[in-house]
Amino acid sequence: MTIPTRVLAPLILSILLWGSANAQQDVPARAAPPNIVYIVSDDQGWKDVGFHGSGIRTPNIDALAAGGVRLEQFYAQPMCTPTRAALMTGRYPFRYGLQTAVILSTHTYGLALDEWLLPQALKEAGYETAITGKWHLGHGDAKYWPRQRGFDHQYGPLIGEIDYFTHEQHGVLDWYRDNKPVREPGYSTTLLGDDAVKLIEDHDTKIPLFLYLAFNAPHTPYQAPQEYLDRYMDVADTSRRAYSAQITAMDDQIGRVVAALDEKKMRDNTLIVFQSDNGGTRNKMFAGEGDMSKVNIPVDNGPYRDGKGSLYEGGTRVVAIMNWPGKIKAGGTVGGMIHVVDMYPTLVGLAGGTFDRNKPLDGLDVWPAIAGGAPSPRTEVIYNVEPFRAGVRQGDWKLIWRTPLPASVELYNIAQDPSEKNDVAAANPDKVAVLQKRANELAATMARPLLLQTEFQALRGRLSLPPALPGEELMFDEED
């Protein structure tokens, strides 16, 4: 039997409309983008939190860890500026010249302007963006400042190694609100907490919030209010007492931020990340610019070798947690490798953002590992690539290669020897060769370190030498 077209057409249309309606019912509505509160401490030791067994009291950080996931192989760069650049770009700092040391107070360069930064990507995705705390990605020229790099709001130091009470470095004020210097009383950690809380209280909850809360604690100088020092009167060493007090003061402010999110009814849709920017300081060379001759280094990196400035685990494996009620299972641990560059694609992906304006990312989306228990997609970590050294890990094997004469090569199996006590380079020449080849490949693509270039040019000027020839900026070493 032939069905007339006048009957068939409405029938087909009805079937299609019915199928479309049911298909729409089967697709869940897209979840609202989460608020993101990204908290960074400065030079904090891996062990210097309660949940890693420290005597330093960090109940609020511990609660976030217990209610979320601990990232026990989370890697940062060996020093401050490179880590913050890696977070902002999703790219290793050797790609754009920020791989060596930090931007010094006398320097005028900054994070390359052709990099599309995390706050820019999130702002494009509809977020309100705010930085409360330390920047350290360019201070000598306003074009590098946070308000010019995607942040709607800025408060705190542009460099960060400041006196906690005067907010000065070398007698020069380093405390700003929205590009304008501000001289105000108060302990910097408390002031940063005050600002973060006020941002949350005043926030329009119809708009997702990205709050980058970057404390300068517990970086040198070791200073804390008397009320916090009094909590550690049983600690004999004055440096350790002040350092412990700094961390507890920071922990209290983190608790205030979480409470403000609860009060604002934002907590259930807020992802909180906490990490240190690098391993805790163990070498006075990297502790700060002040006189450290009479200061005992108070930091504890637990089982990991060395600390800030080094390519060993103590300099690069940092304390890190993530917490999002209902989205991240409480009490979990991610044992696989994650690098700070992975935060860019992970966060932008959660925000529903796009990746069409950034340069090729080194970061990987690790959300399935964090929220779903999947293996981390990361099988390689580049600790750093500089003209005078490199650190590369593939799987369990880690190479540290120093090239200034006398050159040295070290190889460790991190799974078997996380404390890096047993150099097995001599017994594994083939593995050494593979990792050296990889380091050389990366070195061939690296940008010149801006710090070395700047200091070399300044030296030539002081010596009244002619301009450097191409490549000469790389021809001096730094003591490891």
Query: Residues 154, 176: contact at Cβ < 8 Å?
Result: yes
Tell me the one-letter amino acid at 328: I
Alpha carbon distance 341, 193 (integer Å): 26
Q: Is 129 exposed, middle or buried (0-12, 13-18, 19+ CB in 10 A)?
A: buried
Phi, psi at 418, each rounded to 5°: -65, -20
Residues 260-286 as b/e (b if ≥16 CB within 10 A, e otherwise) read: bbeebebbebbbbbbbbbbbbbbeeeb
Question: Among 52, 107, 136, 219, which one carries the catalytic annotation?
Answer: 136
Task: Please give the helix or strand (H or E) that residue 153 lies within, else none.
Answer: strand 153-156
The Cα 83–Cα 397 span in angstroms is 22
Q: Is 136 among the residues known to form the active site?
A: yes
Q: Name the 3-class secondary structure at 268.
A: helix
The catalytically annotated residue of 80, 203, 219, 339 is 80
Report the C-alpha dihedral over residues 18, 23, 25, 28, rounded to 10 degrees: -170
Burial class, 423, CB count within 10 angstroms (exposed 0-12 / middle 13-18 / buried 19+): middle
3-state helix, strand, coil in the chain (%, to 5): 35, 15, 50
Helix (H, G, I), strand (E, B) or coil at 453: helix
Cα separations (Å) of 212 from 98, 252, 310, 370, 465? 20, 17, 26, 20, 43
Whether residue 153 lies in the annotated active site: no
Close Cβ partners of 358 (under 8 Å, ≥ 6 residues apart): 89, 90, 115, 116, 121, 344
Which residues belong to the active site? Answer: 80, 136
